[in-house]
Amino acid sequence: MKLSERLLAIAHLVPPGSAVADVGTDHAYLPIYLVKNRISSKVIAVEARIGPWTRARDNVKRVGLEEFIEVRLGYGLVPIKPGEVEIAVIAGLGGETIWNIIEKSPDIVNTLSAIILQPMKNLHKLRKALLEEHFNIIEEHVVFSGNRFYEVMVAKKGKPVSFSDVDVVVGPVLKKKRTPEVLSYLKARINQLFLKLTKLEGKNSVYAAGARESIKKEIVLLQEVLKNGKLPDGN
């Protein structure tokens, strides 16, 4: 089994030796990789739907790792008991679903040493909710996998932090990174936003006007971040 670049990036953010919950495990590829590569010897894979849950259990059984990977059926972190894991991975889900999962289980989230998140969409909403609810975003990565970019972040419940629009739109860690991946990612996002603007051309509704306004603001912000590390919030 060859793990995608996206799941590999996630796997390598797991501190070796940690007990891990993989929420929305689907095929259980991540838990299997973590155990096979001796990154973790205890993974609880959680799945909300019966089909993927059965598939995950079958895959774990096929590789003979039932002793190390338990596959539980349920919503988010609800099937996890406090103290069972130190790390939770929530990957491949929408930002709003990820936030719902976090919000629903404060008793578990508060006991974790970190949560590794990889949202598929609504990244701004997720980052804003995390920052507003006093999560510190301690790491952010950009991964090019398949034919698109993904963001992976590591968050931890902490003390209140002040944050700006750049922190929400780009990310408190990512805004300081000047790696080729990050720069290409920011450029790709700007191009996508210009494409969206073109699609809104000739549309006169209030919705279209609002969308144009917020897209233009985001373009300016991303262009500022790209400019030689000079950030609009002065950081």
Ligand X SMILES: C[S@@+](CC[C@H](N)C(=O)[O-])C[C@H]1O[C@@H](n2cnc3c(N)ncnc32)[C@H](O)[C@@H]1O
Which residues contribute to the site for ligand X (CB under 6 A)?
7, 23-26, 46-49, 52, 75-76, 91-93, 97, 101
Helix (H, G, I), strand (E, B) or coil at 171: coil
Residue 36 DSSP SS3 = helix
Nearer to ligand X, 40 or 97 (CB): 97
Question: At its nearest, how many Å lie between ligand X and the CB of residue 214?
Answer: 27
Contact indicator for 136, 158 with CB cutoff of 8 Å: yes
Residue 92 or residue 95: which is nearer to ligand X going by CB? 92
Q: Would you say the C-alpha torsion 103, 107, 109, 110 has a positive or negative sign?
A: positive
Q: How far is the CB of 133 from ligand X (least distance, A)?
A: 18
- Among 24, 132, 149, residue whose Cα is nearest residue 88: 24
Sorted by sequence, the CB contacts under 8 Å of residue 199 that are 6+ apart come out as: none
- Pick the closest to residue 60 from 39, 49, 84, 44 (CA basis): 44
Q: How far is the CB of 62 from ligand X (least distance, A)?
A: 18
Euclidean distance between the first and final Cα of the chain, in Å? 42
Q: How far is the CB of 60 from ligand X (least distance, A)?
A: 14
> Closer CB to ligand X, residue 48 or residue 219?
48
* Pair of tokens at residue 113: 């040493």
Q: Is 205 helix (H, G, I), strand (E, B) or coil?
A: coil
User: Would you tell me how many other CB atoms lie within 10 Å of the CB of residue 142?
Assistant: 21
- Residue closer to ligand X, measured from CB, 31 or 171: 31
Residue with Cβ nearer ligand X (23 or 225)? 23
- The smaller minimum CB distance to ligand X, of residues 99 and 218, is found at 99
Closest separation in Å from C-beta 90 to ligand X: 8
**Considering beta carbons, is residue 85 or 91 the nearer one to ligand X?**
91
Structure tokens at 20: 């891990």
Closest C-alpha among 130, 109, 108, 104 to residue 119 = 130
